[in-house]
A and B are shown apart, each in its own frame.
Chain A
Amino acid sequence: NAGVTQTPKFRVLKTGQSMTLLCAQDMNHEYMYWYRQDPGMGLRLIHYSVGEGTTAKGEVPDGYNVSRLKKQNFLLGLESAAPSQTSVYFCASSYSRTSGRARFADTQYFGPGTRLTVL
């Protein structure tokens, strides 16, 4: 049971280049999330997904796209990287439980992070 894994661990891009970050979880979680963390600051939610084939915007979605084609994978794409996107990117997943008509996002489990530098 690997939990949440992220690929790659480190990456350096030039301005304007594109790349995709891969997040994978083996816990059969419904919910998955992408966060960014700038130096000395807390995590900010970029995009999230409440199930396979669905995605939604978080707090800071501009400049990023995501896809959730398989339940276990959540991809974060940068189409044209900018220096402002230099950050550490964390993926997370969480259980989903239902009570009546309500769905609850439970405890989040985080990956080890991807350090991205855009020159």
Chain B
Amino acid sequence: DAKTTQPTSMDCAEGRAANLPCNHSTISGNEYVYWYRQIHSQGPQYIIHGLKNNETNEMASLIITEDRKSSTLILPHATLRDTAVYYCIVRVSTNAGKSTFGDGTTLTVKP
């Protein structure tokens, strides 16, 4: 599976959009991009995933570049409750054994 690179930490003002980048330059054609977040020490929570098209759901938007080598998770109106560690994972859905999370980005939303 492709490795991912994320910034260690980011800050965002409450009410503003939070844009979290992820580089996955070695991604292959059948690998999906998944985003999860972990609030405090709770179990990770699924946010969104995509293959090559941009995706949007009630929580966030996922923008994947045309060459698929990077992506951005967008939280349109960040709240204090969005403070968490955000993980970008790239994996082939047919391989359940390749489900390792990296160190993620710690997003701090400030009042």
Contact = CB atoms under 8 A, between A and B. Distances in A.
Interface string A101-112: 011111111111
B97 interface: yes
B111 interface: no
Contacts of B94: 102-105
Interface string B33-66: 0101000011111100100000000000000000
A48 B96 contact: yes
Given A104-B93, A106-B93, A107-B46, A43 B101 contact: yes
Contacts of A25: none
A42 B42 CA distance: 13
Given A90-B43, A90-B44, A33 B101 contact: no
Interface string A1-26: 00010000000000000000000000
A41 B85 CA distance: 10
A17 to B, nearest CB: 24
Interface residues of A, number: 32
B100 interface: yes
Interface of B is mostly: loop
B8 to A, nearest CB: 10
B44 A48 contact: no
Contacts of A113: 41-43
A4 B102 CA distance: 22
Interface string B75-110: 000000000000100000111110111111000000
A42 B104 contact: yes
B93 A105 contact: yes
A31 interface: yes
Contact of B95 (A33, A105, A106): A105
Given A43-B101, A45-B99, 6 more contacts: A4-B43, A42-B104, A43-B100, A88-B41, A104-B94, A105-B99
Which 6 residue pairs are nearest across A and B when measured between Cβ atoms? A110-B43, A105-B96, A42-B101, A104-B93, A43-B101, A107-B46
